[in-house]
Structure 1
């Protein structure tokens, strides 16, 4: 299916944005995108044309929402004037095309627990190994094998040896605890989708091994709270260097998470 998308959409920038770990670039420069138990091939054809390996029904029911195509990112960028915030304006101009994907909250909880103190290739490898360990084996539209992200029950059933084989290190106990909490109903992630941010963060940080950074990442990338503002080493550097008098969080609400992604990518790519 070929589709015209006039708003910001850069597949390469999204794949490298640090929010998704199951996008794989193919030899033909398309991307194989795994989302829960679904798989899509997506390619930019130039200009505003994109090709997707699904029909219109599947795209409308799954992938339009996943890519957050009902949100106008050009409009979000237009809220920032170059004379008011030249740094953020430059970051947006350089990194436009990034969108905040609407990813599964359970998958993001486990993924960002795994991400603690690790680089992107290591995160991707562990997520892949976990999916292979207890996710459903499937075939994509090109006949290639892939594994769906496993359900909470399946992850909770893994023993320490199986979790260790996924190269989780000290995070094994955190992954197991989170899976058990979701499977047993101690944590209801769906109930947090429309919850206030303070309550969301309090609930997420009650999970063993989940600190404020992971909680903010789950809030932004898993619950689509696009005003959430995760802080890592890069963002802390930005706040210190570019906003010594304070970052205007209230002024930039309710899109601080979107602006955070532009700044993060901009700083990391010019380092």
Structure 2
């Protein structure tokens, strides 16, 4: 079925958003496992003109499946209106053409987004996405060779490293978090799973105000302001989040502050105040534009 909402599917998949790794790509058709109320479904999307052609298998209704694929690819967001907004500002107008069709790639599993976002800190897109895929292969549930992400309750029981695995199981079979290439982040990830099993209900976060949700996610070890905003934007739909790190700082400084050195926390505040409900999208477009246009190289 064709869903009429313009999108560049490949660009959205490979843009490095920390909701999840790119879906399995076979000849330009992207597919992955999506669990809806505990029911596994395989979603498949491919480009059809400027829209997507969507098919699925699983025990869910067409209405429910369409609602979920629209949510994942943010297909109800009005790109044309957003581009008019961007084109009205000299600092942003080149980005709408360069990144045309790029949409938010929202989490199908908020806990996967939390672990992906922790994993992405000081890491390349290629490395963190491979780590997440490795976790799914090792500990996810297999549905026709598509794998779920382990749930928080199971994740908190995982071994951290070779030493703990050998001590507790009597063997070393690379069945631990560090075997997935996450390094120093392993204890942060396991602690996150403990927190979201024993202390915080994941489903409560989307019901909070942005400020309350931000402070709640910051309680997780290894989660600073940038990672917290990634979790809130890609995992829970807080579109006013403006994830800010040294690269976004350089981009914003170049575009708005004549290259002056400003603190990352000030950049975050500026982005949220300046762009409002478009903050998350503007950050996404800024980062992709800078990364692919050559601007980022010039700002090093």
* TM-score of the aligned structures, taking structure 2 as reference length: 0.80
Structure 1 residue 125, shift from structure 2 partner: 1.1
Q: 1:39-92 CA deviation, whole Å, 9 max, x = no partner?
A: 3221112244x322327345324212222222222222222343xx22212112
Counterpart residue number, 1:60: 66
The 1:183–1:25 alpha-carbon spacing in structure 2 relative to 1, beyond 3 Å, is closer
The 1:164–1:158 alpha-carbon spacing in structure 2 relative to 1, beyond 3 Å, is same
Matched, 1:102 2:74: no
The 1:170–1:38 alpha-carbon spacing in structure 2 relative to 1, beyond 3 Å, is farther
Match of 2:233 among 220, 223, 245: 220
The 1:120–1:148 alpha-carbon spacing in structure 2 relative to 1, beyond 3 Å, is same
Q: 1:124-172 CA deviation, whole Å, 9 max, x = no partner?
A: 1110111122210111xxxxx1210110011101112311222211111
Matched, 1:91 2:95: yes
Structure 1 residue 229, shift from structure 2 partner: 0.2
Distance in 2 (CA, whole Å) between partners of 1:26 and 1:80 is: 31
Match of 1:264 among 251, 263, 287: 287
Structure 2 residue matching 1:154: 3-state secondary structure: helix
**1:1-271 superposed matches below 5 A:** 2-5=1-4, 7-19=5-17, 20-24=19-23, 26-35=25-34, 38-48=41-51, 50-54=52-56, 56-57=62-63, 59-82=65-88, 85-103=89-107, 104-139=109-144, 145-161=145-161, 162-184=176-198, 186-244=199-257, 247=270, 249-271=272-294
**Structure 2 stretches lacking a partner, 5+ long:** 162-175, 259-266, 295-300
The 1:168–1:38 alpha-carbon spacing in structure 2 relative to 1, beyond 3 Å, is farther
**Would the aligned equivalents of 1:234 and 1:268 in 2 still touch at CA under 8 Å?**
no
**Would the aligned equivalents of 2:13 and 2:105 in 1 still touch at CA under 8 Å?**
no
Which protein has the larger Cα radius of gyration, Structure 1 or Structure 2? 2
Relative contact order, higher structure (CA 8 A, sep 6+) = 1
Structure 1 residue 27, shift from structure 2 partner: 4.2
Distance in 1 (CA, whole Å) between partners of 2:185 and 2:118 is: 7
- Total equivalences in the alignment: 260
